[in-house]
Amino acid sequence: MKKNLFIAFEGIDGCGKSTQVKLLTESLIKAGHKVYSTFEPTDSQIGILLRSVFSGQIETNHHSIAALFLADRFHHLLNKSDGLLAKMEEGYTVITDRYYFSSYAYHSVHMPMDWVIEANLPCANMLKPDLNIYIDISAEQSMSRINKNRESTELYETLENLTLVKANYYAAFDKLKATESIYITDGNRLPEQIASDIRETLETL
């Protein structure tokens, strides 16, 4: 597999992104890659603020949330110590749990998708994933995994919302298929099977 790729994992809540980021990171490190795995919302002050919104500690509106995610993404890209651009420059293979397709899918439930895409254009121009990996599960499966694993649910975690978010992911993939590299994988299988398909796809880049 090529080195120094930028790989973004996408999907609705509970689809298995963190599980796959971990499996891919481990297997690439074993194969001798320098790997930096990361996530959005980040653990910066902006990301911490976003998590307070999701847990219901802070109440705000959907436009502010979309703008905060964009600010968090700029920080994720540009911060000098462990920013995405710095890590790419240092030769790492960078794997992120969520990137701008999450914004397209989650925020366009509440505002026009084109607005969200345009607002994120500077990010796409700075760093576009070599592959966006979408792990596909149904909104029902997502809710059942969330309910099994957590005592409380977050702001966007309802069956109705996740159904809309999933439809938005597909609308965004369709809209951007000419300029984005997208791989959709069936998330309703054993984690190892999914991981093996992902590795195979990455070999073809």
- Interface with ligand ADP (CB under 6 A): 11, 13-19, 145, 149, 187, 189, 191, 194
CA 136 and chain centroid, separation: 13
Cα–Cα distance between 53 and 200 in angstroms, integer?
A: 38
CA distances from 108 to 42, 95, 100, 172 (A): 21, 24, 12, 10
Minimum Å distance from CB 14 to ligand TYD? Answer: 6
Which region among 21-29, 101-109, 179-187, 189-197 touches ligand TYD (by CB under 6 A)?
A: 101-109
Minimum Å distance from CB 16 to ligand ADP? Answer: 3
Residue 10 binding partner per list ligand TYD, ligand ADP, none, with a CB distance cut-off of 5 to 8 Å that depends on partner kind: none
Which region among 21-29, 88-96, 99-107, 183-191 touches ligand TYD (by CB under 6 A)?
A: 99-107
**Cβ proximity to ligand ADP, 13 vs 72, nearer residue:** 13
Structure tokens at 143: 């809710």
172, 109 in Cβ contact below 8 A? no
Which residues lie closer than 8 Å to 81 by C-beta, 6 or more apart?
Answer: none
Query: Which residue in the shown chain puts its C-beta closest to ligand TYD?
Result: 106
Which residues lie closer than 8 Å to 190 by C-beta, 6 or more apart?
Answer: none
Residue spans of alpha helices (H) in 17-176: 17-30, 45-54, 62-78, 84-89, 100-107, 113-119, 121-126, 139-149, 159-176
101, 70 in Cβ contact below 8 A? no
Minimum Å distance from CB 141 to ligand ADP? Answer: 8
Residue 98 binding partner per list ligand TYD, ligand ADP, none, with a CB distance cut-off of 5 to 8 Å that depends on partner kind: ligand TYD
Residue 7 binding partner per list ligand ADP, ligand TYD, none, with a CB distance cut-off of 5 to 8 Å that depends on partner kind: none
**Cβ proximity to ligand TYD, 10 vs 92, nearer residue:** 10
**Cβ proximity to ligand ADP, 18 vs 64, nearer residue:** 18
Residue 204, class by beta-carbon neighbours within 10 Å (0-12 exposed, 13-18 middle, 19+ buried)?
exposed
Residues 128-167 binding ligand TYD (CB under 6 A) are 154, 156
The contact set with ligand TYD (CB under 6 A) reads 13-14, 40-41, 54, 69, 97-98, 102-103, 106, 154, 156
